[in-house]
């Protein structure tokens, strides 16, 4: 802010210096004019006083003096004549000098002159233009300072406060055209973070209670398994029927423990995937345009061929932002795990559904890994040295199913493809 204030001050100082310089030039020209017209008056006056009678001089060679009038001594007492002699004329200046012949006073000489200076007019025009231009520049700078930089400085602290976990302080709404929506978005983000923080604490508490409860519930079947296992080990059972009965009991208790584990996994998945998907419609073109704007330049920078084949625009059932999230996730995976040669998006129709196929070239994964790519927290062998948590494709599957669609993967000759099914 201080640096920008210095810029405004510099512009004001520059204008003042320039304006003063122009005024100095105008004053200098006026002084020069003053000396020139006075020289002309003195020259004409000296030529007139040599005689005893007034004769109007020839003024063709003079630049400033336009006429010379004479008021005799006897006419000074005549009010009408004297008033006419001293009467002002528009656009004309005059200077009056007494006329003597030796010591004898003859009357007064009036020299009418006009100061025409084109340089002064040009300089005044430049001064006016400079004033207008400076006023516009200073107004723009002040507008930028008050409407953009000052609100931005206030808002710039908010992300840092959010990163520290300060979620209680609200931002005052800004009605400006530049930051109104941004301020609203930051406040929504703050509220969401605060909501998720409270929810996280609640889930953490529930998780601990669940673990304590399940731990207690698992103890009973585990103790039973241990008991029967020890009895078999120590050959307590003397008949095959009793041994088979013990084995069945161990198997039942193992299934009981397995059900507890499935319940834990199910509960964890439900906590993870609380994703809001709007039940709305969008045009296919809007989705593809968003994908092209986001990833075309990125692919160019990575030297990847990004191909989007022709398609017919249609109205699609689903959430535009979530559909873009799914495609973005697949393309980001292509950046991570592909060979960096080609990403191609093609379009098909089948059973009143729009199919969007995203292909990327690269090394294939094994069939066993391929069968689990949509599982939560699953990461294939090619992801060992890559960042991630194994939830990307799992979330994609969840979103597509929430939109009454689906997603599936296929092996290709030189890579893999993912196909989105949208109604």
Where does the pLDDT of residue 339 fall: very low under 50, low under 70, confident under 90, or very high at 90 and above? confident
More confident residue, 104 or 383: 104
Query: Residue 12: CB partners within 8 Å, gap ≥ 6?
Result: 134, 138
Asked if the model's pLDDT at residue 99 lies above 80, the reply is yes
pLDDT of residue 172: 59
Considering 54-68, 130-144, 178-192, the range whose residues carry the highest mean pLDDT is: 130-144
Note the pLDDT tens digit of each residue in 196-243.
777 777 777 777 777 777 776 777 778 788 887 888 878 777 788 887
pTM reported for the whole predicted model: 0.46
Q: How far is CA 150 from CA 158, 174, 177, 237, in A?
A: 14, 11, 14, 85
Where does the pLDDT of residue 317 fall: very low under 50, low under 70, confident under 90, or very high at 90 and above? very high
Nearest Cα neighbor of 67 from 100, 98, 33, 110 is 110
Asked if the model's pLDDT at residue 285 lies above 90, the reply is yes
pLDDT of residue 72: 86
pLDDT of residue 265: 64
- Number of helical H runs and strand E runs in the chain: 10, 10
281-422 shares the fold of 180-272: no
Say if CB 380 and CB 369 are below 8 A apart: yes
Calpha distance 55→69 (Å, rounded): 10
Say if CB 111 and CB 41 are below 8 A apart: yes
Q: Would you say domain 281-422 falls under CATH 1.10.10.60? A: no
Calpha distance 349→355 (Å, rounded): 6
Calpha distance 106→290 (Å, rounded): 98
Asked if the model's pLDDT at residue 392 lies above 90, the reply is no
Pick the CATH number of 180-272 from 3.30.420.40, 3.40.50.620, 1.10.287.130, 3.30.450.20: 1.10.287.130
For the chain, domain boundaries: 2-118, 180-272, 281-422
Alpha helical stretches, state H, 234-319? 240-272, 284-301
CB atoms near residue 153 (< 10 Å): 11
Where does the pLDDT of residue 93 fall: very low under 50, low under 70, confident under 90, or very high at 90 and above? confident
């Amino acid at each position: 802010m201080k640096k920008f204030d210095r810029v405004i001050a510099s512009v004001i100082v520059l204008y003042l210096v320039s304006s003063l310089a122009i005024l100095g030039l105008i004053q200098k020209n006026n002084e020069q004019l003053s000396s020139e017209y006075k020289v002309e008056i003195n020259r004409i006056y000296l030529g007139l006083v040599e005689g005893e009678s007034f004769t109007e001089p020839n003024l063709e060679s003079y630049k400033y003096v336009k006429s010379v009038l004479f008021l005799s001594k006897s006419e000074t007492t005549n009010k009408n004549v004297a008033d006419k002699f001293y009467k002002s004329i528009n656009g004309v200046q005059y200077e009056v000098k007494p006329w003597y012949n030796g010591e004898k006073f003859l009357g007064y000489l009036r020299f009418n002159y006009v100061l025409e200076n084109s340089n002064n007019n040009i300089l005044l025009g430049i001064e006016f233009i400079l004033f207008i231009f400076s006023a516009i520049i200073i107004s723009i700078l002040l507008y930028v300072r008050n409407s953009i930089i000052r609100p931005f400085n206030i808002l710039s602290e908010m992300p840092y406060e959010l990163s520290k976990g300060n979620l209680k302080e609200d931002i005052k709404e800004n009605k400006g055209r530049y930051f109104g929506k941004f301020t609203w978005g930051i406040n929504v983000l703050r509220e969401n973070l605060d909501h998720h923080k409270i929810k996280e604490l609640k889930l953490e508490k529930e998780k601990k209670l669940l673990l304590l409860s399940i731990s207690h519930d698992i103890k009973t079947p585990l103790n039973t398994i241990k008991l029967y296992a020890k009895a078999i080990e120590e050959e307590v059972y003397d008949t095959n029927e009793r041994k088979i009965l013990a084995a069945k009991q161990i198997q039942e208790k193992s299934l009981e423990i397995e059900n507890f584990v499935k319940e834990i996994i199910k509960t964890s998945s439900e906590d993870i995937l609380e994703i809001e998907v709007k039940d709305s419609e969008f045009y296919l073109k809007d989705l593809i345009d968003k994908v092209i704007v986001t990833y075309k330049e990125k692919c160019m920078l990575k030297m990847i061929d990004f191909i989007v084949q022709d398609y017919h625009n249609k109205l699609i059932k689903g959430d535009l932002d979530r559909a873009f999230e799914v495609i973005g996730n697949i393309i980001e995976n292509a950046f991570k795990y592909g060979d960096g040669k080609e990403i191609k998006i093609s379009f098909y129709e089948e059973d009143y559904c729009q199919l969007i196929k995203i292909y990327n070239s690269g090394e294939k994964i094994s069939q066993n890994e391929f069968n689990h790519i949509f599982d939560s927290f699953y990461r294939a062998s090619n992801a060992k040295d890559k960042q991630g948590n194994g939830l990307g494709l799992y979330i994609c599957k969840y979103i597509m199913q929430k939109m009454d669609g689906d997603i599936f993967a296929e092996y290709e000759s030189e890579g893999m493809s993912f196909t989105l099914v949208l109604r």
